[in-house]
Chain A
Amino acid sequence: MSPSDTEPVIIVENLTARYGDVTILKDVSFEVYRGERFMILGGSGCGKSTLLKHMIGLLKPYAGRVIINGIDICRADEETLQAVRKQIGVLFQADALFGSMSLSQNVALPLTEYTDLPSDLIREIVRMKLGLVDLSGFDNHMPAELSGGMRKRAGLARAMALDPMFLFFDEPWAGLDPVTAAELDILIRSINEGIGTTMVFVTQELASILTLAQRVIMLHKEAKGIIARGTPGELREKSTDSRVLNFFNRHAM
């Protein structure tokens, strides 16, 4: 994306996240711009998935707000929220494909739910989406019959079924070998550049951060919030914070 394209489409403002009495994140604020590949980094258990779940409206913040496309999703009514959800595709940490449905049925599900297209058109869209993620021909396979990388791609095809404006990824590279992970990187980049989808990732996969991220924020468990922000290059080269440097150089604390 061109750097001039600086319209924030996701705004997180002073977000405080709690489970019961336990505060996981405190006063977190940041913005994501249109068409950007944005990454949320941090060690295990620092609240990355929690933050993501707040951003897609699965969890309500204890305080603060999340604004997507100008709509405050924490206070929107159910109807508005439904409209926002149509604009959001999510690839969950466990790929969350429905095991009792074939790949084409999985991808067709949001299409049959949200549109009233005839089945032959839906089939055609499903084919196109499966082709986009390099899975053409696997229409009638069941998720259990696929490898990890293929399941991730199938999950991506389902997340993209409605041509969402935003794609959220929770640890998409977890459990993939380096070659498969690199292939997924290429696929994600081509979709981002071809379609212009705004992408938010939650990850700790160094190789993919360095090749894919345009801007990152880094969370920390003790800080309960953001300890660094910038491009991955800046953080790796210029940061003075030992926690950031250790993360990028894979040092033990």
Chain B
Amino acid sequence: METTGYRLSVEGKTGEEATIRLAGRLSLDDLEPLMADLQAIPGRLMPRRLSVDLAGVEYLDSAGALVLIELQNRARALSIPVDLLNVSEKDHGLLSLIDPELLQRPPLRPEIVQSPILETMGELARRQFRDFQEIMSFVGELITALVYCLAHPRVVRWADVMFYMKRAGADGLPIVALISLLLGLIMAFMSSLQLKQFGANIYVANLVTIAMVRELGPIMTAIIVAGRSGSAFAAEIGTMIVNDEVNALLTMGFDPTRFLAVPKVLATMVVVPILTVYADLFAILGGLIVGVTGLDLTAFTYIQQTKSSISIFDFVTSLIKAIVFAVLISGIGCQRGFQVRGGAEGVGMSTTSAVVSAIFLIVVFDSAFAIMLYYVRH
């Protein structure tokens, strides 16, 4: 069996010639104590001449060699000559590979350290501004590409559009349906607790329908799509950037925005309104379940009440909102993807940023819609 650890003995008196005998394994496993032991010897003994006898060394790896070279450096600093004795041919080869000079050479570039707070804030502001510029120029490119595609429908990659419609739409339907159904149940249940006290049970239908169709339906669906598909768009395009695939498209004369972003934007523009309608329906179904089981309403009265509470205008504006959200989600997803620089880390950041930015923009635009629609209605 191989021995473990190293053995070390020192012969010689202070100020005279001294010999260090090393044996066993000089390896990475014992680097720390070995280094400490050996580094202490020259300064403690201050010998005229130091010999290091390696006759008993069974195994030497580059960490062990490093220790010997550091010992020589240390002794040289104290002007003590060092001889290595009984170095095997193999160990000699290893020792000659390591250049003591290089161990001292400072890095060509200093380590990156955290900059002071003011600088960081300035950098942050500058980055925000640049980010805004990039988004604006991407919006320009996207609009140009969309208009071009509108004029030349044949250049659109319809197969891709279908693919993303399935990905963002059909595959997302179960989760949208489930969440809206639960939302409808919860809204109906919570409001029924209050409305019961006034005998106004029937208005649960109005509450669920108006809240869902006007506000929650579009916004909930948009947030789910942002999480599912906006992030996927960013990751997909970002990975293509990292792998030079986008550069390949450019050199083949394709417009990456038209090639990659337009199908995604068109697909989401179609599926988000459809998903929104489904979300509304499932929430109403949730309300209906509570109404029938908990409030002694008949399904017929509940549906009649639902119908009367909503106007075509509400429905249409809700779809328009959904289309706008779709453009925001897919647009920011693609833009974040195109923004990726560097490697895997960049892709991760772009994915996060795609979702966060999309949700932020959805809320901002929803507020704008709320104010606009208020004035339109009155």
Interface set of A (CB-CB < 8 Å, partner B): 98-100, 102, 104, 115, 117-118, 121, 124-125, 127-132, 136-141, 144, 160, 162-163, 190-191, 193-196
Does B90 have its Cβ within 8 Å of any Cβ on chain A?
yes
Residue of A nearest to B109 (CB): A140
Given contacts A117-B31, A128-B62, contact A138 B108 (CB under 8 A): yes
B61 in contact with A195 (CB, 8 Å): yes
Check A117–B32 contact: CB distance below 8 A.
yes
Asked whether, in the complex, the Cβ of B103 is within 8 Å of the Cβ of A195, the reply is no
Given contacts A129-B62, A140-B107, A191-B97, list 10 more A-B pairs with CB under 8 A: A98-B343, A124-B70, A125-B66, A127-B102, A128-B98, A136-B99, A139-B108, A140-B108, A195-B97, A196-B90
Given contacts A100-B344, A124-B66, A163-B63, whether A132 and B110 have CB atoms under 8 Å apart is no
Chain A CB within 10 A, most for which of B28, B35, B70, B90: B28
> Closest residue of chain A to B94, judged by CB?
A194
Alpha-carbon distance between A141 and B111 when the two chains are bound, in angstroms? 9
Contact of A128 among B27, B35, B103, B109 (CB under 8 A): B103
Which residues, 71 to 116 on B, are CB-close (under 8 Å) to A?
A: 90, 93-94, 96-99, 102-103, 105-112
Q: Least Cβ distance of A197 to chain B in Å?
A: 10
Q: How far, in whole Å, are A82 and B191 apart by their CA atoms in the complex?
A: 59
Distance in angstroms from B349 CB to nearest chain A CB is: 10
Which residues of chain B have C-beta atoms less than 8 A from A128's C-beta? 62, 66, 98, 102-103
Contacts between chains A and B (CB distance < 8 A), count: 92
Chain B residues with Cβ under 8 A from A138's Cβ? 107-108
Which of chain A's residues have a CB closer than 8 A to the CB of B108?
137-141
Query: Does B37 make an interface contact (CB < 8 A)?
Result: no
8 interchain pairs, CB-CB under 8 A: A100-B342, A100-B344, A115-B29, A125-B31, A138-B108, A163-B27, A163-B61, A194-B97
Q: Which residues of B contact A131 (CB under 8 A)?
A: 98-99, 102-103, 105
- Number of B residues contacting the other chain (C-beta, 8 Å)? 32
The answer, yes or no, to whether B11 is at the interface (CB within 8 Å) is no
B27 contacts across to A, CB distance below 8 A? 163
Residues of B within 8 A of A163 (CB): 27-28, 61-63
Cα distance, A196 to B90, chains bound together (Å): 8
Q: Contact: A132 with B31, CB < 8 Å?
A: no
Complex CA distance for A137 and B102, rounded to whole angstroms? 8
A163–B90 alpha-carbon span in the complex (Å): 15
C-alpha spacing A191/B32, complex, angstroms: 24
Bound-complex Cα distance A87 to B28 (A): 12
- Find chain A residues with CB under 8 A from B296 CB: none
Q: Which residue of A lies closest to B93 (CB)?
A: A194
Most chain A CB inside 10 Å of its own CB: which residue of B32, B107, B112: B107
